[in-house]
């Protein structure tokens, strides 16, 4: 890619007709849900205190055969209002917790709640304050609620303004009803003072709405990449950031990996160009591969601001690193089942003259894929290179004298900085992965990276069977050790050869889809999407 081209261009409007950036990002919508829950909980507690005290005194009086104090008897109506707000707050709390309630519906319910609460606050305050003092208060807490709501629940100003005006009219409505019922005498100055306070609250609320919602839209606009809208940051890797995203026309979820221009090298433009070219090469390498066990690429390009990205399938699974750390070593037959799928991906790469050079458990994703279980996807072709070229033959893509790969899973020829690295380096790394799957231990450990590299270059590995209490077939023990041979010529010479030898081990077919499904149902009953880093 010599030119910056976005392969799928952004549409002029979103499917909801509000514009490409009119909707808040999903993670901000979830924040709105949590804020509404907190607000509802606080209002519930605040309005529940007086009724609890009232009914506590009432219960004590009844138990003691005493009469209810006169002032308590007069306050029954006020406590009825409190109970109504408590019930409404509990309902809002429950609704805000439900993912089945869409953001627009939740927003409508929240604005309705604001109007109702403002009416109750104004009505109760005016009535009770006049009864106790003989005068009307200049202000109630209703304006504070009106100003607070745009901060808690961002909404388009064109929607927030009518709701805010309606909420601001509630104190005036309360005065009219109290005057009509003969509860409180209301004069023109009282209406004027209340109207001024409400008008000021509307002004502040409208300005807050424009600022807060504008910031949300700015975030959404910044997350537009071609036809994909970034929704949630899932993680960071050596090559950049990974986001959960959604195609705006197809509503298809995806994992978008990107490197922002600001992450590429800061004040070092040459380094920035190197990182972007390396990132671009990863996308091109994946795009050329068709193995079902290689992560699928949907789209890639360069955004208007210079951020390079590509979109991949969003997978439901767990990487092999977390799998073993969480659940411990796996049976030999399951390890064989997973390793043969890794070999399928590497075999195609090898047939195209490509070397992955960073096979490790974190790059092996074990998935539920359609109706299949324990389906393997090989990730992160970020340092892939043609087997017949050296790093120096690709200026700018890797640094000269830099060791490429992960130290705990690196082949001796890579550890020594050799220029002739071929597919057998991936065989060595696959042997390290097999060791991890079978034993839950690394082949070698050391206090320093240099010490670890020297172990891979010089130290003979202990058989996997000596590092675990689980049974390991002798043939599998020997095959893993052959993959870990220091001399590449003593290893299986291709991923296809390794897969064939794995299939010949006794009990290799003992891991069935039925067993895999049972494991997933027991250990991973939910289906969280996985970040591809």
Q: Which residues are catalytic?
A: 358
Tokens linked to 279? 């990132």
Closest alpha carbon to 28 in 208, 221, 162: 221
Angle at 253 between CA 250 and CA 257, to 5 degrees: 120
Q: What is the largest CA-CA distance in the chain?
A: 101
What one-character DSSP code corresponds to residue 257? E
CB of 274 within 8 A of CB of 397? yes
For residues 256 and 231, give the distance between their C-alpha atoms in angstroms, rounded to a whole number: 10
The residue written with tokens 């000021």 in the block is 200
Angle at 212 between CA 261 and CA 96, to 5 degrees: 105
H-helix segments, 296-379: 320-327, 332-351
CB of 32 within 8 A of CB of 153? yes
What one-character DSSP code corresponds to residue 10? P
For residues 196 and 365, give the distance between their C-alpha atoms in angstroms, rounded to a whole number: 62
DSSP bridge partners of 294:
378
For residues 402 and 405, give the distance between their C-alpha atoms in angstroms, rounded to a whole number: 10
For residues 408 and 426, give the distance between their C-alpha atoms in angstroms, rounded to a whole number: 13
What one-character DSSP code corresponds to residue 282? H
Angle between helices 76-97 and 26-63 (to 10 degrees): 150
The residue written with tokens 């074990």 in the block is 366
Tokens linked to 62? 């009844």
CB of 445 within 8 A of CB of 459? no
Burial of 36 (C-beta count, 10 Å sphere; 0-12/13-18/19+): buried
H-helix segments, 378-448: 412-415, 423-439
The residue written with tokens 């290689």 in the block is 294
For residues 445 and 458, give the distance between their C-alpha atoms in angstroms, rounded to a whole number: 13
The count of other CB atoms within 10 Å of the CB of residue 531 is: 22
Closest alpha carbon to 381 in 322, 296, 319: 296
Measured between its terminal Cα atoms, the distance across the chain in Å is 22
DSSP bridge partners of 233:
243
For residues 377 and 342, give the distance between their C-alpha atoms in angstroms, rounded to a whole number: 8
Tokens linked to 461? 């590995």
Cα 154 to chain centroid, rounded = 21
């Amino acid at each position: 890619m010599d030119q910056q081209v976005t392969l799928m261009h952004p549409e002029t409007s979103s499917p909801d007709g509000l514009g490409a950036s009119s909707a808040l990002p999903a993670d901000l919508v979830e924040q709105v849900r949590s804020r509404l829950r907190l607000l509802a909980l606080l209002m519930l507690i605040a309005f529940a205190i007086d009724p609890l005290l009232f009914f506590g005194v009432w219960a004590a009086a009844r138990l003691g055969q005493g009469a209810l104090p006169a002032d308590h008897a007069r306050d029954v109506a006020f406590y009825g209002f409190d109970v109504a707000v408590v019930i409404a707050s509990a309902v809002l709390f429950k609704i805000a917790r439900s993912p089945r309630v869409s953001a627009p519906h939740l927003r409508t319910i929240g604005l309705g709640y604001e109007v109702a609460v403002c009416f109750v606050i104004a009505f109760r305050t005016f009535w009770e304050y006049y009864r106790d003092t003989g005068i009307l208060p200049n202000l109630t807490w209703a304006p504070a609620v009106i100003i607070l709501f745009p901060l808690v629940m961002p909404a388009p100003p064109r929607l927030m303004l009518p709701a805010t005006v309606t909420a601001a009219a509630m104190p005036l409505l309360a005065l009219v009803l109290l005057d009509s019922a003969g509860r409180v005498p209301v004069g023109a100055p009282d209406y004027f003072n209340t109207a001024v306070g409400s008008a000021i609250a509307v002004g502040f609320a409208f300005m807050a709405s424009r600022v807060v919602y504008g910031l949300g839209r700015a975030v959404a606009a910044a997350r537009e990449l071609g036809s994909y809208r970034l929704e949630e940051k899932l993680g960071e890797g050596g090559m950049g950031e990974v986001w959960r995203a959604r195609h705006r026309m197809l509503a298809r979820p995806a994992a978008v990996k990107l490197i922002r221009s600001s992450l590429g090298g800061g004040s070092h433009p040459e380094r920035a160009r190197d990182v972007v070219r390396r990132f671009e090469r990863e996308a091109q390498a994946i795009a050329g591969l068709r193995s079902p066990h290689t992560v699928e690429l949907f789209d890639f390009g360069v955004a208007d601001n210079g951020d390079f990205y590509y979109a991949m399938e969003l997978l439901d699974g767990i990487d092999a690193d977390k799998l073993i750390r969480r659940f411990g070593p796996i049976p030999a037959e399951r390890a064989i089942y997973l390793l043969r799928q890794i070999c399928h991906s590497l075999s195609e790469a090898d047939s195209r003259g490509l070397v992955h050079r960073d096979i490790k458990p974190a790059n092996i994703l074990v998935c539920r894929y359609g109706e299949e279980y324990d389906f393997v996807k090989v990730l992160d072709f970020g340092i892939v290179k043609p087997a017949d070229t050296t790093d120096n033959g690709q200026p700018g893509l890797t640094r000269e004298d830099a060791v490429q790969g992960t130290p705990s899973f690196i082949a001796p020829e890579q550890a020594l900085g050799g220029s002739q690295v071929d597919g057998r380096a991936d065989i060595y790394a696959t042997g390290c992965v097999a060791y991890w799957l079978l034993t839950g231990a690394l082949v070698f450990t050391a206090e320093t990276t240099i010490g670890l590299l020297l172990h891979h270059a010089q130290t003979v590995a202990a058989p996997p069977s000596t590092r675990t209490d689980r049974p390991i077939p002798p043939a599998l023990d020997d095959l893993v050790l052959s993959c870990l041979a220091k001399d590449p010529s003593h290893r299986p010479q291709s991923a296809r050869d390794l897969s064939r030898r794995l299939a010949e081990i006794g009990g290799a077919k003992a891991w069935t889809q039925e067993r895999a499904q049972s494991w997933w149902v027991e250990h991973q009953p939910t289906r969280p999407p996985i970040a591809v880093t």
